[in-house]
Amino acid sequence: MNDNDDWINDDEEIVKLDAFFDEKTMSVHLVENNPPRAKRGAPGDWTLVTLSERILTHEELDIMGSAIIESARMDRSSFMEIEEDGAAVVQLRNMRIAIAMPPFADKYEISAIRPITKLSMDDYELSPKLTNRLETRAEGILVTGSPGSGKSTFSAALAEFYSKKHNVVKTLEQPRDLQVSEEIVQYAPLGGSMEKAADILLLVRPDYVIYDELRKDSDFEAFSDLRSAGVGMVGVVHAGSSIDAIQRLILRGRVELGQLPSTVDTVIHIEAGRVAKVASLSLKVKLPTGMSSSQRDLARPVVEVRDFEIGVLEYEIFSFGGEKVVVPVRGGAKPTLRGGQTAPRRGRPGEVVPVSASYSQKKVTLDVGRKYAKQRLEIFADDVYLTTTVVGRNGESSIRIKTRQGSMIVDAMEEGAKITAKVAQ
């Protein structure tokens, strides 16, 4: 026995689960016939460490598991989420504990997870553009990331954010382990059904519901139904990227393609506890990118997925041959010379110009490449003329965001319009 084995008493018996935790411990994993282990660090930056060489026995884990269940039943701030033959999930104050044993598992196991931090939205240092979208426009949000990336911590901060804006906020969880303030009521499945819980939530008339987490068809259906009823929704999804989460939405017809942008308009991807990427969704009737303009009869509803911060179109989702397809969109390559230099060609009047549009707090930047340097371009949002600008030597045109022209371009980008340009006559 090590000198720092505080979780063992003088008779070498395990005492309390709390003794395995310190301020840097995210979770503790106790497995029969194995030494105790713990994940220590922060979301996205943790290490699995062995706490001792002592081997845990079935008997002592059984005693600890029984004590945990008894504590949850006696404590008004704790509860049993699941209790089946061979498995139990317990919310013991701020600690979520999963207990597995035969016949469900081949050996006794106790896994305990405790949040090590509670953050506010200010801690995430979001861009003013994203903050404004969360306040005014985003009502169907997916928070995505891999396990342990910090999705639940961000979702809890978002719940607090909406609550402080004088909204009625509820959560729908299984298990209920989000760390939120007292005014936010946390709901669990009713009679084992999320759909029944969603029906009750509609009677409560919440402004926002945090749904943690979406996995089964029934979860996505309940999320979609609540959103269709006008409730602002935040869903938590295990996914490696934003587009992976979106594809889970349309899997097996969980959400119809035409309803996708009205169900989810914003996808926030979390990595290592930070916002790594934000995507926005919008619906257009258009010819999918890459199809010839001579095939205009193939125009159809297309869901555009854009990088929210810079407005660049990244994916298109549409029906083709009876199947839903997700197509990555890449900008066409510019003509190049040997050595990778851009060919010095001038644009012809009326020529369509590819535009990469982005904006910051002070200006809108339209990047068209050096080919069009010193030329006048007409700027369009979809087919609507906005303004005429002159391209600088570096292939960019900058427009102050406070001008009428700048604000028109920003509004169009946030509405999901495609910014295009033509060489002026």
pLDDT at 371: 83
DSSP letter, residue 105? S
Multiple choice CATH, 17-113, 3.30.450.90, 3.30.420.40, 3.40.50.2300, 3.40.50.1980: 3.30.450.90
pLDDT at 330: 64
Question: Where is average pLDDT lowest: 109-118, 225-234, 272-281, 312-321?
Answer: 109-118
Question: Where is average pLDDT lowest: 201-215, 245-259, 294-308?
Answer: 294-308
In the chain, pLDDT over 90 holds for what percent of residues? 42
Other Cβ atoms less than 10 A from the Cβ of 224: the count is 23
Q: Is the pLDDT of residue 7 over 90?
A: no
* DSSP secondary structure letters along 285-349: EEPPTTS-GGGGGG-EEEEEEEETTT--EEEEEEEETTEEEEEE--PPPPPB-TTSPBP-PPPPT
State how beta strands 419-423 and 352-353 pair: antiparallel
Question: Where is average pLDDT lowest: 194-203, 235-244, 400-409?
Answer: 400-409
For 79-102, what is each residue's pLDDT tens digit?
Answer: 888 889 999 999 888 888 999 999
pLDDT at 294: 62
pLDDT at 348: 73
Query: What is the mean predicted confidence (pLDDT) over 128-145?
Result: 92
For 149-168, what is each residue's pLDDT tens digit?
Answer: 889 899 999 999 999 999 99
* DSSP secondary structure letters along 174-200: SS------TTSEEE--BTTBHHHHHHH
Amino acid letter, residue 314: E
Amino acid letter, residue 114: R
For 381-395, what is each residue's pLDDT tens digit?
Answer: 887 888 888 888 788
- Answer positive or negative: Cα dihedral of 365, 368, 369, 371: negative
Query: What is the mean predicted confidence (pLDDT) over 117-141?
Result: 90
Measure the CA–CA gap between 280 and 14, rounded to whole angstroms.
51
Cα angle 166-172-176, degrees, rounded to a multiple of 5: 105
* CA distances from residue 217 to 177, 206, 248, 271 in whole angstroms, order as listed: 22, 23, 10, 25
Measure the CA–CA gap between 134 and 414, rounded to whole angstroms.
12
Confirm or reject CATH 3.40.50.300 for domain 121-328, answering yes or no.
yes
DSSP letter, residue 276? E
Please give the helix or strand (H or E) that residue 277 lies within, else none: strand 274-286
Cβ-proximal residues to 43 (8 Å cutoff; 6+ apart), any chain: 26, 148, 149, 150, 153, 272, 273
pTM: 0.67
For 296-342, what is each residue's pLDDT tens digit?
Answer: 678 899 999 999 988 889 999 999 878 889 999 864 333 333 333 33
> 225-232 — which CB contacts under 8 Å span 24+ positions?
225/195, 225/198, 226/198, 226/201, 226/202, 227/139, 227/140, 227/262, 227/263, 227/264, 228/259, 228/262, 228/263, 229/202, 231/201, 231/202, 231/206, 231/207, 232/139, 232/140, 232/162, 232/167, 232/207, 232/208
Measure the CA–CA gap between 356 and 327, rounded to whole angstroms.
19
Q: How many CA atoms lie within 13 A of 161 on its CB side?
A: 22
Helices (H) and strands (E) in the chain, counts: 8, 24
